[in-house]
Structure 1
């Protein structure tokens, strides 16, 4: 009888291990309770832990049957945020925060996931960055392990090292520069894919961010105007008290020293305006400025509106967008061919085509953007700091804070207040351009 009791006691660790595994799966146990867990650092101790929700039953006071019943009912809700965190693989907070912002953009993710047949691991493809982004997208939905995420993040860095050798090292990088490099690499890989693929319907996801500005250079002496298109995928703004003021400052006319080809005048005025609107408007806040030989961080607060309307700005730009013949263009009208040059714009034929493609439209609805994500820089300098992201969760005012592997809930009011002096990248989505909706360009 004594031996039997000992046998039962010897089986208890196995039972405890089973119960702990169940509790960890449900988010009710910590890593410290797992006898087989790795000795993780403080930073990664909460890896893949579900966002804590209220109303969880006490495991000790419920039977296994009632626990499993509750687990099945809440599995869908908890699973959506179960593994949203991304592990820091060595000074990669800039990468994690920016990727989390991109994952908050439905149209961008839909363009990638909807073309999985072109980049899946079973397919020979040039779309490496889309493959790693798509596989990470699945991993965030709970379809991959912590180590799988690390492998995919390393693959992203390795792919970018082809364009910038600094990504071979473990140094911290600038989040804005990473975003530009990531989009450039994705676009170049897409062009390669289009050159070798028999699928002409391929759509490059970077189109979500691209738009065109018209630059008008007016001679201060004779008034001669030269028109030129500029392609952009973001705007870098100087800091002011309000984001709308920063935008207005960007489009404010400026003086430029140049020689007029007609009268040889030495100076001109340069103005810009939107020719097309992007589906996703990325605004880069200039939080670093040169102080001698060093870059100094600027902590000025900027009021961030949850909804950004460009209607008044577009109305003011109508004079800038006037064609050489005097008619006005619209940011939603058909723009000039991308191959058109400044010299081509001087011919009468191109002037006529420019006027034919122009139309004045109501921008009150189509030019409204809602805030989807913020990437913030916390720290004193570009060499000493940490990046985190805040992303909107639907349209109910709920937000998430994503700090590498840690995911916590917050709300819109808190985000807008706390990020006034730390916001570095702002992601605004054009109203009506959600998942599956065409961009009204």
Structure 2
């Protein structure tokens, strides 16, 4: 019996952004992530073939010297060219395997969120303006939080600075307070997504409830006591974490998998999230943070169906030209109703605080 016919890229005129990606063997996790990133307008502005060379820092030894960025740019331009019904992204996969992470390119089932972390980090390092990063430690008491934040930002920019960070990174501030002496310690943190826990034992929850829980105060007690530098011993403490600075693109990861009894169990509850209006992130900002744009519009969803080791990824994308919601299932692209966006399969949500869709007024 002969080997199965190799699927090749299919040419043909389609609307811009309506091009699918062939599955190369359990690579749906890669395809859905790429579709979401290709439909992030801020990334398009950076990685078109005419622009991305300007951002490459070949002196950064942590990057790929522009290799993965070139492959990402070429595939992005091809997807938006309108000349392909579906593309076989084998050159990109091979470059990812050789330059970024071979383990995630072995044509086995993997986590879309993990793939995105590796890819964004590789694109960041390719475009990192800092050639010799200066490491630094935080030591803030929080008495003048605005000054602390400015000092941290200046140090962070000497450590890591790229257009990728400018698009995705949000900054949080966490304050620890000793229950005995009331001394405080403040730390800032950069992240390119918010991973929120889902409630257990229920079939439905709202995203704003999950975010409120994520940014609620926590008491550190028992084995988790804070080693207070003033008391010089472990003490019960309160930890308060809030957002200090929001990014243009906000990625929210719904943590559907948790370890139970040695195996990963999936939480298949339906999460209610804003799909047609603007989601307001102001309730999760620190009270002393600067006034900033805090409303976000949904433009992409990564969905997961099945179990951790045996599942399938699809993506819902709002095309920024036609404004139509599309479902990408590997090489297949079909129009869908916005009424079908919310489901127990929603895994990663992508929001932008910029109005790329006309007739969609911002709050």
Counterpart position of 1:172: 109
Counterpart position of 1:372: 299
Q: Verify the 8 A CA contact 2:11 2:84 in the aligned structure 1.
A: no
TM-score with structure 1 length normalisation? 0.63
Counterpart position of 1:250: 214
Q: Verify the 8 A CA contact 2:20 2:331 in the aligned structure 1.
A: yes
- Residues of 1 paired with 2:217 and 2:282: CA distance? 19
| Closer/same/farther in 2, CA of residues 95 and 431 from structure 1, 3 Å limit | same
- Residues of 1 paired with 2:30 and 2:256: CA distance? 18
C-alpha deviation, 1:239, in angstroms: 1.5
- Residues of 1 paired with 2:322 and 2:91: CA distance? 34
Describe how 1:176-325 pairs up with structure 2 within 5 A: 176-191=113-128, 195=131, 203-240=162-199, 241-256=205-220, 257-263=225-231, 264=233, 266-306=235-275, 307-314=278-285, 317-318=286-287
- Aligned to 2:335, the other structure's residue is in SS state strand
CA deviation profile, 1:242-270 (whole Å, cap 9, x unmatched):
00111101001111211212234511111
Counterpart position of 2:71: 132
- The answer to whether structure 1 residue 407 and structure 2 residue 343 are counterparts is no
Pick one of 80, 93, 100 that aligns with 1:160: 100
C-alpha deviation, 1:40, in angstroms: 4.5
| Closer/same/farther in 2, CA of residues 259 and 149 from structure 1, 3 Å limit | closer
Q: Verify the 8 A CA contact 2:11 2:85 in the aligned structure 1.
A: no
Counterpart position of 1:388: 314
- Aligned to 1:382, the other structure's residue is in SS state coil
- Residues of 2 paired with 1:87 and 1:146: CA distance? 7
Describe how 1:332-371 pairs up with structure 2 within 5 A: 333=290, 361=291, 366-371=293-298
Counterpart position of 2:346: 423
More helix by share: 1
| Closer/same/farther in 2, CA of residues 395 and 145 from structure 1, 3 Å limit | closer
| Closer/same/farther in 2, CA of residues 145 and 401 from structure 1, 3 Å limit | closer
Residues matched between the structures, number: 306
| Closer/same/farther in 2, CA of residues 427 and 227 from structure 1, 3 Å limit | same
CA deviation profile, 1:283-342 (whole Å, cap 9, x unmatched):
11010011211101110111021221112333xx41xxxxxxxxxx21xx3xxxxxxxxx
Q: Which runs of 5+ in 1 are unaligned?
A: 1-37, 51-74, 197-201, 319-328, 334-360, 436-441
TM-score with structure 2 length normalisation? 0.76
C-alpha deviation, 1:224, in angstroms: 1.4
Bigger Rg over Cα: 1
- Residues of 1 paired with 2:38 and 2:93: CA distance? 14
C-alpha deviation, 1:231, in angstroms: 1.1
Q: Verify the 8 A CA contact 1:210 1:233 in the aligned structure 2.
A: yes
Counterpart position of 1:53: none
C-alpha deviation, 1:238, in angstroms: 1.1
| Closer/same/farther in 2, CA of residues 377 and 49 from structure 1, 3 Å limit | farther
CA deviation profile, 1:100-138 (whole Å, cap 9, x unmatched):
011111011211225233489xxxx81122111110012
More strand by share: 2
Q: Which runs of 5+ in 2 are unaligned?
A: 57-63, 133-160, 200-204, 358-363
- Residues of 2 paired with 1:397 and 1:186: CA distance? 27
- Residues of 2 paired with 1:287 and 1:430: CA distance? 25
- Aligned to 1:91, the other structure's residue is in SS state coil
| Closer/same/farther in 2, CA of residues 96 and 157 from structure 1, 3 Å limit | farther
- Aligned to 2:75, the other structure's residue is in SS state helix
Q: Verify the 8 A CA contact 1:222 1:265 in the aligned structure 2.
A: no
- Residues of 1 paired with 2:323 and 2:77: CA distance? 25
Counterpart position of 2:156: none
